[in-house]
Structure 1
Amino acid sequence: MADDPTDLLAVADELYGLPLAEFTPARDAHAKRLKGDDAALAAQVKALRKPGLAAWVVDLLARRDVEQVQQVLAVGAALREAQASMSATELRELTRQRRQLTAAVTQRARALASDAGVRVTPAVADQVEATLTAAMVDERCAQAVRSGLLVAPLAATGVDEVDVAAALATPEALGFAPTAREEPVPAPPTLRVVPDPDADEKARAAALEIVEEATEARDVARADHEEAQRHVQELEARELQLQAEIDEVRRRLAQLESDAEEVEDDLGDAEEAQASAAETLEEAEAALGKAQSALDRLAD
């Protein structure tokens, strides 16, 4: 290990600020130059990893547009504070700002890379945006992004711990601030607008076309509304009819239940009368038997 880790950070700061294609030759040249004076530092420099494209774009942003990166980190800090205090209103607003800001800053990073002659594909842009989002969600990711010494993109959910050290050129980079390298902004080209002689007519034609399309859309919407209204009226009428039928069935059921109760009562009375008549019949038959026997004896 080198005696002073700032020596390694100073070399890394220079290397990771170079165009991506120049990184490896410059790193090897540094290591070779240092080998005679500080073998340990030379070995550390030689071990510095070439950044992936997404990480290089974020490093470029950290050097070329410090203000944008600071804004990302500030919103991230506010977002984490809102989460800790459970302020729902502030949390929703900051989350919306986070999405808007990460998208805008990603576009800025792509523009910087384009100015440096590097094309950023949508897939790489997604990794850049994920890294910026991680910087907002996780404080250590924020420090890693600010260092300008990333070698790999970051991703954070806010729940699982992120292996930040694996994405940095060296663990000592956490908390490091890179050397800002603002590039002069070229003056915009002078534009001269040539008036179109048919501009008014074209504008009227375009407006007329818009009116016609809007009228057609209105007519279609009106027809759909009228059809839906008719369907609602039909269903309401059917609902009333079915409700009336249900009420009639309920009334009829109530009547049948009442009739059944009366029949049940009458049946009980009839069964009692039947039992009494059967007993009377039995007594009458017994009396008839006795009378017949007496008659038979007199005849003898």
Structure 2
Amino acid sequence: MAVSLTAIAQELYGLAPADFTAHRNARARDLRPTDAALATQVAALRKPSPAAWVMNLIARERAEKLEALLRLGEKMRQAQERLDRDELRRLGAERRDAVAGLAREAADLAQAAGYPPTASVLGEVEQALQAATSDPAAAAAAAAGLLVRALRAVGFEPVDLLDAVAVPGAAAVPSPKPASSSSTPPVQLHQVRLRKEARREAERLEGDAEAAAATLDALDRRAHRLDLRRQRLEAEVAALREQLREAESTRTAVDDDSQALVDARSAAQAQADTTSRRAHEARAAADALAAQD
């Protein structure tokens, strides 16, 4: 039975990062005698980035939860079409919770596989999960489990999928179902334009709100770091003040001892002078008595 590039890619992109290159090269080498073209395609498959590998791990090990998140993204797009702001806010909060929860599970999965992700990689995974909810093409790319690089939504443009999927055809977006005869009549052109403008404005404001929230979070983290530094410096200042008080107390004691020594020396000098004078007088008296004899 002939094997397809997609099937081989599904096998390779499910491997641990350390095993990818060796297995890819081995598969290409085995295919070369019988299917040189497929062997060339296999050899050209790129190793996934750390964040892409975690995303592929989610697609395999947490497929149901990923599908639920992608359905949530579809609901958000429908709410945008309806200009339902309340529903958008509710779904936006639900998406943030779902993305954070799935990222935590992904970190646990990667840890268990022996490849604990860094904080930077987890940040890329969260961005990729959010990008996957932005449009159907990004959702299909994430669900395929064949990412080479992490997805990222830039502004309000469609997610850039160029060179993001190992086998682009494996992440095809399902064709929309044909409209039934009972569907609502098409809206007028100006209504479509108004909806698009309103959606763009809503997306712009959402982006501004998310940027403001990110800025606030960064400032809060910086304030926390500065507070910790201030506490450390205050502790150092308190210790130095205590050392200064001890040094001043010791200096006062030394000054007292020094003054006492000066006073004692003065008294000893006076005693020595008096004793010397008396000895001199006694010697003079003794000499006078001896002269009389």
| 2:132 paired with 1:135 | yes
Q: Quickly say closer, same or farther: Cα 1:140–1:114, change in 2 above 3 A.
A: same
1:111-126 aligned at under 5 Å gives the runs: 111-126=108-123
Asked if structure 2 preserves the Cα contact closer than 8 Å seen for 1:138 and 1:156, the reply is no
2:95 aligns with one of 91, 98, 112: 98
1:238-259 deviation per Cα after TM superposition (whole angstroms, max 9, x unaligned): xxxxxxxxxxxxxxxxxxxxxx
Q: 5+ residue gaps in structure 1?
A: 178-300
What is the match of residue 50 of structure 1? 47
2:153 aligns with one of 152, 156, 167: 156
2 CA distance for matches of 1:32 and 1:157?
Answer: 39
Counterpart code for 2:82: S
Cα RMSD (Å) of the superposition?
2.0
TM-score after normalising by structure 2: 0.57
1:230-281 deviation per Cα after TM superposition (whole angstroms, max 9, x unaligned): xxxxxxxxxxxxxxxxxxxxxxxxxxxxxxxxxxxxxxxxxxxxxxxxxxxx
The structural deviation recorded for 1:157 is: 4.3
What is the total number of aligned residue pairs between the two structures?
174
1:157-188 deviation per Cα after TM superposition (whole angstroms, max 9, x unaligned): 462132213211122121399xxxxxxxxxxx
1:155-174 aligned at under 5 Å gives the runs: 155-157=152-154, 159-174=156-171
What is the match of residue 28 of structure 1? 25
What is the match of residue 64 of structure 2? 67
Q: Quickly say closer, same or farther: Cα 1:159–1:86, change in 2 above 3 A.
A: same
1 CA distance for matches of 2:96 and 2:3?
Answer: 35
1:191-228 deviation per Cα after TM superposition (whole angstroms, max 9, x unaligned): xxxxxxxxxxxxxxxxxxxxxxxxxxxxxxxxxxxxxx
3-state SS of paired residue (2:133): helix
TM-score after normalising by structure 1: 0.56
The structural deviation recorded for 1:156 is: 1.1
Q: Quickly say closer, same or farther: Cα 1:116–1:176, change in 2 above 3 A.
A: farther
2 CA distance for matches of 1:140 and 1:147?
Answer: 11
Asked if structure 2 preserves the Cα contact closer than 8 Å seen for 1:62 and 1:148, the reply is yes
